[in-house]
Structure 1
């Protein structure tokens, strides 16, 4: 049977790049994984999830899925590898085809759970995001069966029939050799194409239903599973490759029925589930920045208030406790006034804790030793000349240091007024002008 029009099969499915073989089956699987990750990332971002999560989870899910898919195929077709004429080494030849979707989904889910736990996100939310991508990956991966000329259906005489080479047609059970029933049959149902188109439709259905009904908490993934199993059921009925039969149905048909019932049951039980999902969204950053914006404002107000109070106290001429520490240049000015303050009276040294040292003397003069008038006259004008004024014995030092000096210097100035209060009081009563705001 040779129809006029048909879908031709590829002449080869392997190309060699030097010693490295490039297999079309593997390329289709890789392209499917890339498409699933790409679509999953877009849907995950639409949920408000952190970018890059799908890739991180895929690092765990994809290897687990490949192993699970191969295990399912080997277990359900064990006679090919462990039967009478089987070869166990062939179980490792994954490039020749043979990945069961149910094993891939089951063990891939285990890897996804591990990846989600490491990222601290909900595996159900992630399943909803990647469900259409998985269907799209299956649609692309099925073309690997086309390159390998495998998993086709019953004979078909029409323009969309798939031509299969003689060495890829069904063989006799239990031994080598072509099955006589298919010796003269060249075209068959392209079940790979049926399933590929069906998976594209499933992906579109899940995306539409998710937008229309807001499927969350694993319901989008359950819809994908239910829709896929419906198509897999009738496609499986067309295939003629070897498979185990239970009560007249292929094993994959029974698997599709059981999985379909479970998916529909979950859709019913989770129909009322609402509420937010843990997608690991980076929504905590704006709230953490609020105190940081308020804190500097509170910090800048405190020094302004303290400086205002201190300025008001100095304007009144009364010490206001310990004012804030002034800038660095103001801290050096009291050191210039200390000789003049020590030259005024001998009783200041015990109170301030600093010895009275005359200008030019190498050693401090003991407390209580009288100081001659000529020495006091020579020492006093030096600091006052810098300030632009003349100091009299017993008078206060230049008021400028009092405005900017720390609290300890303000206390010293108060001690001077108590010891030599008469001279200071006379200066105020005479109405002498006070510099710098005093």
Structure 2
């Protein structure tokens, strides 16, 4: 009598995080970031057109916001995880190798907003209108970017035996390949909570919620972005508590846990301040072919 084979359920991770294209090393982490930027820009342009803007204005602003955001994200990562790059035996030049991974969302958003402010002023777009239009797209970009962590086999939670546990390999990030054991198979470090997946699903749901609330209630200028801060930090606070990778701490909590909690409170206060304002608009919204030409609206100073 044959004994049935029991197959263990788990969520696999890639054993390859990069590939060669001629002399270039293409990192899947970078491709995920680029895919997120592309989807985020597409949704932002669509939402800005609904507020009376144009795709050209979106692209003009993004040209400033994205480079500022990447620099800010890297700076935040290097500052908060400086022990990875500075000190005895460390390679300080690694702080510049952004393609190896390491972008802090708080730095990316902070400097990205500075770039967006410059671009919005040059494009003649009220800053609040762009920020509200961009908020859901920013969430989608973050969700897609998290899949870069999946390719890198990083940012996982505590060990678990849940059916959706994440299999993690020992990776050589320099080569983009999993280390192999004596039998030639990829070395498995263990099975952990897939926090990258939880966050990716959370931000997808959060983006849908923001778009629904914006359509349903015509939220005041700037309040959509304030809600972005609230919903994202609420989830991020929980996910940071679940993570088991090394991180700097303050009073026993990870730095990003503290930042998430403080920004959550700030986001609520900002939303309460802005929600009663007029909706952020640029001018006459683009006609909707389903309903005929849009009626002109009064321009607001937001």
Query: Normalising by structure 1, what TM-score?
Result: 0.59
Provide the residue aligned with 2:141 in structure 1. Answer: 137
**Contact 2:169 2:189 survives alignment (8 Å):** no
Provide the residue aligned with 2:169 in structure 1. Answer: 165
State the shift of 1:167 in Å: 4.4
Q: Which of 40, 45, 65 matches 1:41? A: 45
Extract structure 1 runs of 4+ deviating beyond 3 A: 280-283
Distance in 1 of aligned mates of 2:269 and 2:283: 28
Secondary structure in 2 aligned to 1:121?
A: coil
State the shift of 1:27 in Å: 0.6
Q: Which of 79, 102, 105 matches 1:101? A: 105
Provide the residue aligned with 1:245 in structure 2. Answer: 249
Provide the residue aligned with 1:72 in structure 2. Answer: 76
Runs of 5+ consecutive residues of structure 2 not aligned to the other structure = 1-6, 173-186, 287-302
State the shift of 1:145 in Å: 0.2
Provide the residue aligned with 1:91 in structure 2. Answer: 95
Secondary structure in 2 aligned to 1:252?
A: helix
Task: Please show how residues 225-244 of structure 1 align to structure 2 within 5 Å.
Answer: 225-244=229-248
Q: Deviations over 1:3-53 (max 9, x none)?
A: 811111112111111112221111101110010011111111111212321
Provide the residue aligned with 1:27 in structure 2. Answer: 31
Structure number with the higher strand fraction is 2
Provide the residue aligned with 1:256 in structure 2. Answer: 260
Runs of 5+ consecutive residues of structure 1 not aligned to the other structure = 169-182, 284-438
**Contact 2:70 2:108 survives alignment (8 Å):** yes
Provide the residue aligned with 1:110 in structure 2. Answer: 114
**Contact 2:169 2:188 survives alignment (8 Å):** no
Higher relative contact order (CA 8 A, sep 6+): 2
Distance in 1 of aligned mates of 2:68 and 2:55: 22
Q: Which of 56, 65, 71 matches 1:52? A: 56
**Contact 2:57 2:125 survives alignment (8 Å):** no
Distance in 2 of aligned mates of 1:38 and 1:167: 34
- Structure 2 residue 208 is the aligned partner of structure 1 residue 204: yes
Aligned residues: 268
Distance in 2 of aligned mates of 1:278 and 1:201: 25
Provide the residue aligned with 1:7 in structure 2. Answer: 11
Query: Normalising by structure 2, what TM-score?
Result: 0.84
**Contact 1:57 1:112 survives alignment (8 Å):** yes
Secondary structure in 1 aligned to 2:159?
A: coil
Distance in 1 of aligned mates of 2:47 and 2:281: 15
Secondary structure in 1 aligned to 2:239?
A: helix
